Amino acid sequence: MTDGSVGGSVGGLFGGFFDGFDVRWVDVADGVRLRVRVGGQGPAVVLLHGHPRTHTTWHRVAGKLVAAGFSVVCPDLRGYGRSSAPPPQEDHAQASKRAMAADVVRLMDILGHERFAVVGHDRGSYVAQRTAMDYPQRATHLAALDSVPLGEALARADARFASLWWHWFFFAQPEKPERAIGADPESWYGCGPAKQALMGPENYADFLAAIHTPAVVRAMLEDYRAGLGVDRAADDDDRAAGRRVQCPTLVLWSTRDDMELLYGDVLEVWRPWTTELFGAPVESGHHMAEEAPDALAALIVTHLRR
Interstrand relation of 71-75 and 277-282 (parallel, antiparallel or unpaired): unpaired
Q: How many CB atoms lie within 10 A of CB 79?
A: 23
Mention every residue, 6+ apart, whose C-beta is less than 8 A from residue 109: none
**C-alpha 215, offset from chain centre:** 19
SS3 198: helix
Is there a catalytic annotation at residue 287?
Answer: no
Rg of the chain taking only CA atoms, in angstroms: 18
Determine which one of 122, 146, 231, 238 is catalytic.
122
Is there a catalytic annotation at residue 286?
Answer: yes
SS3 133: helix
Fill in the amino acid letter for 265.
Answer: D
DSSP assigned state of 55: G
Respond yes or no on whether the N-terminal peptide bond of residue 52 is cis (omega within 30° of 0). yes
Partners of 25 in beta bridges = 4, 35
Strands (E), the chain: 3-6, 22-29, 32-39, 44-48, 71-75, 116-121, 139-145, 249-254, 277-282
- Using a CB cutoff of 8 Å and minimum separation of 24, what contacts does 31-34 make? 31/84, 31/85, 31/86, 31/87, 32/78, 32/83, 32/84, 32/85, 32/86, 32/103, 33/83, 33/84, 34/75, 34/76, 34/77, 34/78, 34/83, 34/84, 34/103, 34/107
| CA angle 45–199–141, rounded 5-degree value | 15
Contact assessment for residue 231 and residue 260, using Cβ atoms and an 8 Å cutoff: no
Catalytic residues: 122, 286
